[in-house]
Amino acid sequence: MTVPKALSLGQEALALHCRAYKILLVPEYRFDKVRRWRFDFAIPAKNLAIEIEGGSWVNGRHNRGSGMEKDCKKYNAAVLQGWHILRFTTAMVISGEAIEVILRFLRAAAVRKGDGMSDFVILEKPKFHDPCNRCGWCCREAACELSELYLHSTAAPCIALEIEPDGQTSCGLLKRPSFHLGLKFNADEEIRALLSPMWKGRCCAQTEAEVAANGFGVPA
């Protein structure tokens, strides 16, 4: 039996960041069966490879001549097979720069036509005073009062945030409250009637008056 290789600090951090945004990574992805080359992580459906380069400030394998040459051959072969490669240092991962670049890549891929990537949609945060587009960025950045009170969670992104295929998001605590509260019976209508008046429904790009004018309420 093959024992999985332990993740480095940078790899662990990136995996955590991607889980927060519900991005499914495949670790130690073998893309070349002949040379047995692997990526640290891959999103195969998007042909995206992610490499975390350790030892960037020491004389590690990747910084020595032979190691750099091997990496060049590996990355060149991957590109010729149609892979996109993003490379990060551990510091870039921990600072949040890596996940931001990955999100930008996926967002750009989502709007391209005919490349098989349009299924992954991450909506842009609306500009101030623009109507809410249900992008979910406010729920990704901070938990609301309902999450703190009923889910006992202040985690961000909110653990009840639900993302649709078109990129729009819903509050799972209002959409499927019985599920998110861990109930063994369905009491969605009763719980929703209780929670809905407590939910401000305020988009981060709008003022209270604009929320009222746009009629933004409980997500469908």
Task: Express each pLDDT in 37-59 by its tens digit.
Answer: 999 999 998 899 999 987 655 55
Give the model's confidence band at 110: pLDDT under 50 very low, under 70 low, under 90 confident, else very high: low
Specify the pLDDT at position 168.
80
pLDDT bin (cut points 50, 70, 90) of residue 3 is very low
Q: What angle do CA 86, 162, 150 make, to 5 degrees?
A: 125
pLDDT surpasses 80 at 5: no
- Supply the CATH classification number for the domain 9-111: 3.40.960.10
- What is the pLDDT, as a whole number, of residue 217? 41
Can you give the residue ranges of every domain in the chain? 9-111, 137-214
Cα–Cα distance between 126 and 207 in angstroms, integer?
13
The more confident residue out of 202 and 3 is 202
